[in-house]
Structure 1
Amino acid sequence: MVLLYVFGAVALINCAYYFFFSKIAFLKPSEKKIVEKFPVSLIVCAKNEAENLKKHIPQWQQQRYFSFEIILINDASVDETLEVMEAFAEKDPRIQIVNVKNNEAFWANKKYALTLGIKRAKNTRLIFTDADCYPASADWLGLMTSKFSDEKQLVLGYGAYEKQAGFLNKLIRFETFLTAVQYFSYAKAGNPYMGVGRNLAYTSNLYYENKGFMSHIKVPSGDDDLFVNEAATAKNVAIAIEPEAFTYSYPKKKKQKWHLQKKRHYSTAKLYKPKHRLVLGLFFLTNLLFWVLAPISLCTDYWSFGLAIFLLRISTQYLILGNAAKNLREQDLIAYIPLYEIFLIFTQLSIFISNSSEKNSRWK
């Protein structure tokens, strides 16, 4: 019977988290409204991304916004990235190129390259995306910019992945979706902790006030989440969840490459503020315990109580994440949410264990 009490307590904590996530699940995106008040600088850092740039630069150029420049940063590429940038820049005066060469102090450091790009920008409001990302619509730039105000200096967007065939694609998208539900919910509650560089915006004033990336310049990852974790406050953050304001990129096709990508990303979590590490760690731990205890509880003499607890937690999860998936246009994930969760939990556990004994790799 003690086991059931523990199982019930774990499920109750789980449900509390999901009710907290209802801040996004039942939030209706505002009507698409673009107020053209501020010129902006779109900043894209690219390392060996020649082919993606050929496809995506035209989509950035076609954004319906009254005044913007495109800062393309060539981060010491060894392919034709620079040549592709120069070819587009010859025909479009809005494109500015920053050509970064490796140096001894900041070898292969994306944050160093981004710093040079930010210094080059002539506008105060900056929009960031990656070279392998494309906007969901021609209004993406305008919608992200419309969230800025005198008070709101940091905008969190949704960087989704393309829908493709296969279980790995759905697992990658589920992880991305669940992460977004969390960081949007915490931001909405006045406790922002991260954002993703695939779709992020902030002002140069905020960047310089926080001394850029200096506090974590030697950490290979974290130009997005660590900066947000340090610079975001309850009052200076806005969120953009309009579908037209999403960006999309291409997910990894091999599990090993996705694991390497997530190892870099998860390695920055230990540098979050203690309060954020606590609430995120508790969410992961209770999810893990739920799936460990569930089959045990269903095999006891009190299996009916265990089943009731199980169904309550699963129903709550479906209700909240199902509605959130509709908001973020990830409806095809809804049917098998528990299955994706199980695979994700044990994948994350293996990555956490691996990260505890290995050094982080450089960006690309």
Structure 2
Amino acid sequence: MFSIFEAFAKLTIISVIVIALLLIFYVLLIAGLCIGFFRLKNESTNFDNQVFSDTKTRFSIIIPFRNEARHLEALLETLNCLDYPDELYEIILINDGSTDRSLEVIENFLAAHQRLELKTLNNKRVSGSPKKDALNLGIAEAKMDWIITTDADCRVPSNWLKHYNYKILREACTFIAGPVCFYEDQNQLLDAFQQLDFLSLQGATIGSFGLSRPFMCNGANLGFLKSSFLRLNGYAANNHIASGDDVFLMQQFLEADAKAVGYLKTWHALVETAPQPDLKSLINQRKRWAAKASAYKSRFAVLVSVLVLLGNASAVAGLFFAEIYYLLILKVAIDFLLIWCTATLFAQKKQLKHYVWVALVYPFFTLYIALVSQFGKFSWKGRDFKK
């Protein structure tokens, strides 16, 4: 009997040590990303310099959509307010088999706003990723030098293209990632959870750029040189994966020339996107995002993914061991620091009051998504996909 208790005691000690080490590694990772966040300089908003005012980049804005009648008018309103010479940008919308009033919304808006000009195309499915098919079609039709992508449920700032132009001319980038956050919808608690979750992702994104180890970006605010996209064969290497049109493309640009990949660190270039309306939609969205993780080629991206997963698993396991509660408090604190940095940059502090309960729920949510995303199917926009 004594040997059984002795073995159990040893197992407990080993478990505590392993969990403690994993939490320490996680805290060091997030601390490193916080350092990277501060290292990355904020973008200037001074467009008065003669070089930048006289020289203009030409942009093709590519926007796939499927059943976005609810959001399209808000997007079109912001596109109509873009402060950039009309002759230097074009807007291409790609209809990915919408079955709602999306096309009608677009037609009605154009009839009432004569200034806005855009082209609408119908998607042609050729791969396992409808969105990448739509983007490829739009890029093939694009007449301008630079491609800018966003989503149909987004709202873009009026100086959006000016910030890209300034960044391109100042740093000679070929790929630029921009900031994204959620705007408030109607479900207060679910919105708060999504906003804080997304602020952590954006903080990690900015931090990784500050460390010169970018591993994440968002297709809702992305720009790249069309000629480089074509030279790198675009999405050809991963068009069998439903998502990842942003991250996998960035990895290709990083492999080609890491110094030409930049980030727009300013809330003036912030694109706002719609949160998911209910828990089921949120789970499907996160499953879609997580399903691509196993296809990452970047060792740093894999390391971060594994440490984040193990860190959250350790947070759950650590609840059973009072000896490491101080490490759980440290994890909560360092996570808050990264989120606070991002919320401050984006002027999105309102949801920070929900942080405590979100911090308690989030590890369980992360583990659940990590598990279910690697098995079975997920639904998105009325379609079923396999991992």
- TM bucket normalised to smaller: 0.7 to 0.9
Instruction: Report the counterpart of residue 256 of structure 1 in structure 2.
Output: 280
Change beyond 3 A, Cα 1:33–1:128: farther
Change beyond 3 A, Cα 1:82–1:107: farther
Aligned match for 1:187, one of 202, 209, 214: 209
Instruction: Report the counterpart of residue 326 of structure 1 in structure 2.
Output: 344
**RMSD of aligned residue pairs (Cα, Å):** 2.6
> How far did 1:19 drift?
1.7
Letter in 1 for 2:102: T
Letter in 2 for 1:297: F
Could you state the TM-score of these two structures normalised by the residue count of structure 2?
0.82
Deviates more, 1:109-118 or 1:25-34: 25-34
Instruction: Report the counterpart of residue 239 of structure 2 in structure 1.
Output: 217
Deviates more, 1:343-352 or 1:4-13: 4-13
Equivalent pairs counted in the alignment come to: 355
Q: Deviations over 1:208-243 (max 9, x none)?
A: 122011111122212222222333353121111211
> For residues 80 and 302 of structure 2, what CA distance do their matches in structure 1 show?
39
> How far did 1:170 drift?
1.2
The equivalences for 1:69-80 within 5 A come to 69-80=90-101
Change beyond 3 A, Cα 1:355–1:12: closer
SS state of the match for residue 99, structure 2? coil
Instruction: Report the counterpart of residue 8 of structure 2 in structure 1.
Output: none
Instruction: Tell me, yes or no, if structure 1 residue 12 matches structure 2 residue 36.
Output: no
Change beyond 3 A, Cα 1:215–1:185: same
Change beyond 3 A, Cα 1:326–1:93: closer
Instruction: Tell me, yes or no, if structure 1 residue 207 matches structure 2 residue 229.
Output: yes
> For residues 326 and 209 of structure 2, what CA distance do their matches in structure 1 show?
33
> For residues 98 and 168 of structure 1, what CA distance do their matches in structure 2 show?
33
Deviates more, 1:179-188 or 1:146-155: 146-155
Instruction: Report the counterpart of residue 45 of structure 1 in structure 2.
Output: 64
The equivalences for 1:1-364 within 5 A come to 4-22=16-34, 23-25=36-38, 27=40, 29-34=42-47, 35-36=52-53, 37-66=56-85, 67-86=88-107, 92=114, 95-103=117-125, 105-106=126-127, 109-135=130-156, 137-149=157-169, 151-164=172-185, 165-232=187-254, 233-275=257-299, 276-293=301-318, 295-298=319-322, 303=323, 306-361=324-379, 364=382
Change beyond 3 A, Cα 1:229–1:318: same
SS state of the match for residue 168, structure 2? coil
> For residues 211 and 70 of structure 1, what CA distance do their matches in structure 2 show?
23
> For residues 71 and 57 of structure 1, what CA distance do their matches in structure 2 show?
12
Letter in 1 for 2:371: I
> For residues 172 and 21 of structure 1, what CA distance do their matches in structure 2 show?
20
SS state of the match for residue 235, structure 1? helix
> For residues 314 and 101 of structure 1, what CA distance do their matches in structure 2 show?
44
Structure showing the higher helix proportion among its residues: 2
> How far did 1:323 drift?
2.5
> For residues 374 and 128 of structure 2, what CA distance do their matches in structure 1 show?
24
> For residues 380 and 242 of structure 2, what CA distance do their matches in structure 1 show?
5
> For residues 126 and 71 of structure 1, what CA distance do their matches in structure 2 show?
10
> How far did 1:117 drift?
0.6
SS state of the match for residue 216, structure 1? coil
Q: Which residues of structure 1 form unaligned runs of 5+?
A: none
> For residues 30 and 217 of structure 1, what CA distance do their matches in structure 2 show?
33
> For residues 286 and 112 of structure 1, what CA distance do their matches in structure 2 show?
36
> How far did 1:25 drift?
5.0
Q: Deviations over 1:307-327 (max 9, x none)?
A: 544444444343343233211
Contact 1:128 1:201 (8 Å CA) reproduced: yes
Contact 1:70 1:94 (8 Å CA) reproduced: no
Could you state the TM-score of these two structures normalised by the residue count of structure 1?
0.87
SS state of the match for residue 214, structure 1? coil
Contact 2:90 2:117 (8 Å CA) reproduced: yes
Q: Deviations over 1:302-354 (max 9, x none)?
A: x4xx4544444444343343233211333234344353233222222212222
Change beyond 3 A, Cα 1:130–1:2: same
Q: Which residues of structure 2 form unaligned runs of 5+?
A: 1-12, 383-387
Letter in 2 for 1:121: A
> For residues 192 and 287 of structure 2, what CA distance do their matches in structure 1 show?
19
> For residues 96 and 314 of structure 1, what CA distance do their matches in structure 2 show?
46
Deviates more, 1:29-38 or 1:10-19: 29-38
Contact 2:177 2:264 (8 Å CA) reproduced: yes
> For residues 106 and 354 of structure 2, what CA distance do their matches in structure 1 show?
42
SS state of the match for residue 177, structure 1? helix
SS state of the match for residue 93, structure 2? strand
> For residues 22 and 82 of structure 2, what CA distance do their matches in structure 1 show?
47
Instruction: Report the counterpart of residue 4 of structure 2 in structure 1.
Output: none
Change beyond 3 A, Cα 1:332–1:84: closer
Contact 1:194 1:225 (8 Å CA) reproduced: yes
Change beyond 3 A, Cα 1:44–1:177: same
SS state of the match for residue 237, structure 2? helix
> How far did 1:356 drift?
2.3
Contact 2:190 2:279 (8 Å CA) reproduced: yes
Contact 2:174 2:224 (8 Å CA) reproduced: yes
> For residues 60 and 129 of structure 1, what CA distance do their matches in structure 2 show?
11
